[in-house]
Structure 1
Amino acid sequence: MDIIGTIMAAGRSAVELSLFTLLPVMVVMLSIMRLAEAAGLLDGLTRLLAPILRPVGLTGLSIIALLQVSFVSFAAPVATLATMDRQGVSDRHLATTFAMVLAMGQANVVFPMAALGLDVGRFLAISLLGGLIAATMTYHVFGRHLSSEGPGEDAVAHHAIVEDARGILAIINRAGGEAFRIATGSIPIMALSLSIIAAVRAAGGLDGLNWLLATPLDWLGIDQRLITPTLSKYLGGGVAALGAMADQKAADEIDAQFANRAAGWLVHPLDLPGIAILTTAGTRVAKLWVIASVGASAGIFARATIGMIGGA
């Protein structure tokens, strides 16, 4: 096996995907989000939705985290979770918000997947449903024993994460810089994950795994083509899964129908890199990751089921 050639090919794929697919989408989405923040639109949306979402344990800050993961990236809610931790938001509300974030599709994978045929509008609706299910299950079932003391329902966004900008151009430039950091920051883990997958494939590991799992997957009605992106996703995160699916698409192994059916299972931050990054938000956030993950699993299961049944 040509190890150096495999690494070089994986690195080239990672760079191309990050700079030519992920970066342009993130620049546009981040610019829209930052302009909406500067115009006060997010404040208005938060005030409108907070009373509606209060019964499932979500607060004003939770809504900001929801928008961040849906329209910026999986790492964007770190600042909001850190703010909630710092403001003393109760463990119960904090775990609920964390679970919601883990159960929802992250923008840095969702929008580039449009190139693979993903129906983004439908996906976002199902993602929101999954997030609300995760929040409900965490607040009322898995996290009901947690403390509810603190500024839970009254917590609002103070825009600690938004830098002051003097004009539209400054906002766009700042958003572009942030998008570039997100895109380039994904290159190492994506290159490593793609290298591992390519090495396993070259050594016959994927063929062996497909043979081993063929019968069980057939019994369960699960597509065997999910094996490669699933390994990539849970080892290297959602962007790594995107890279694996892009390779499958280039080889004509998958189509738009597969992308839509698989998105609920593959596109969310509940993986090793996602947990590692999101738990840096604070000590309490790190302590609550198990409960949040269990709650998020309920939302992801619902999303995956809907996607498998009704994938376009």
Structure 2
Amino acid sequence: MPSNDDYDTPWKDALTRYFPEFMAFYFPRAHAEIDWRQPHVFLDQELAQVVQDAQLGKRLVDCLVQIATRDGGEQWVYIHVEVQGQQDADFAERLFTYNYRLYDRYRRPVASLAVLADERENWKPTRFSYQLFGCEVGIRFPVVKLLDYANQTESLLEDPNPFALVTAAHLFTRRTKGDPEQRYAAKWRLAKLLYERNWDKQRIIDLFGVIDWLMRLPTELEQRLLQEVYTLERKVIMPYVTSAERFGIEKGRQEGRQEGEASLLKRQLARRFGTLPDTVQVRLTTATIDQLEEWAIRVLDAESLDAVFDQRPQ
């Protein structure tokens, strides 16, 4: 598993773009009860505000989705989804905390769902509760463990759901740890499957992004794989963006997003605290997207610039 906890992972991009498929693959019971004729809305900023002071774990995805149910009993309800990348002793308690805070905010039912992408075979939390003086409070939540699919690799590769391939990529990543040639072979196999299914350009790019992010290769093997993908794209005569070009596009998108978020935060800070020192402006320009988003949350309650950047006055 990648060691960073980048909240703008390709994992999250794929979930956001293909949320119905995500639910159908990992949580088919819930998928059957959702009215997909109605739009589903992602509320990530609202989630960040609700849980901004909660302890963060190694999450690959953390999102809140507003959906409609088929039975009409509740026109709008909320699904809180976490994809957890590492074992976390406080995971179940955190889901409990998020759930009751979200319910307190919206006064609507909230379903907490978890996908565990860690490497601990025996770690599978499903509940958190406590009792005191006859009062019992708690939560039980559905959990999907990617390792549970370990003996179903071939079935995953035949499944038309895109998240079957995402799951296979996770399993291949674990299985080929320390063996770059085997990882290359597995990654190339997954890449070919993307094209064999005649999916549209965006879906191929999105899913290849997840596979590429998971299954990192040494530079030499990565270049070999990119050449293979480029050759494949020409053979199938599809107007897809080549992998090398895609990397440049994605980099440009990230840079553009960083500039946009830095500009917005700069205006927010100036409105609250007046003219910004040059050191602050430089810091905004060079910050990562994660840092900018964290500071944007802090600015809501901060009483000074130092508090936003978690610095003590000199």
Q: After TM superposition, is the score higher than 0.5?
A: no
| TM-score, normalised by the number of residues in structure 1 | 0.30
| TM-score, normalised by the number of residues in structure 2 | 0.29
Which of the two has greater strand per residue? 2
Quick check: which has more Rg, 1 or 2? Answer: 2
Tell me which of the two structures has the higher relative contact order, counting C-alpha pairs closer than 8 angstroms and 6 or more residues apart. 1
